[in-house]
Amino acid sequence: MSYDDRRIEVVNAAWRVIVREGLDRASMRAIAQELGSSTGVVTHYFRDKEELILFALERVFENVLEDMQVCAKGRQGIDRLEQMILKALPLESSDKADWKVWVAFLGYSVGREHLVQEHRKRYDLLRRIISQELADLQTANLIRADLNLTLEANALIALVDGIGTGVVICPEQFSTEQQQYLVRRHINALLAFS
């Protein structure tokens, strides 16, 4: 098994511990136990818990971006934006684990400015991607010309964050259908009038 494959195996063990027990209990020892190895094996691939958690967060974010890009291929117009936004939500039970890691990391970042900066970088990239999608829709006269695209990108990100956090905290409040309805309702408010 390659070095990179083994690192991913360690991260997957960390995810399972975080999802099951929370980030505060995801010690290097707990992750090693989940992996069925010694703490030395974990520290061989990651200096400390923070490096491991940052790598896990990056994997979650990369997975979401990749899913959004795959989903966007071959789609156009409003459908393209809608499907990209829906892909970022925890519509499937497998997505809920990623959201638990994301939410746990948000809480862990409070008071740790360098970790807040890591989150900020990811949000900035997401904002640029969504703003570009909105700009393309505006150019095609599919959404209103009077929209502030940065504000609307922020609103879509806030909607996704709110729904994702809601699913982690109170899953019965956000069925797949409800998540889809909320996204479609918001996007419909952006449409240009014919």
| 133, amino acid identity | E
What are residue 143's DSSP bridge partners? 191
How wide is the angle at C-alpha 77 spanned by C-alphas 71 and 78, nearest 5°? 80
Beta carbons of 14 and 28 less than 8 angstroms apart: no
pLDDT tens by residue, the chain, 194 residues: 788 888 989 998 998 898 888 888 889 999 999 999 999 989 999 999 888 888 888 888 888 889 899 989 999 999 999 999 999 999 988 788 888 888 888 888 888 898 889 889 999 999 999 999 999 999 999 999 999 999 999 999 999 999 999 999 998 889 999 999 999 999 999 998 75
Residue ranges of domains in the chain, CATH in brackets: 1-46 (1.10.10), 55-188 (1.10.357.10)
Beta carbons of 57 and 118 less than 8 angstroms apart: yes
Note if the pTM is more than 0.75.
Answer: yes
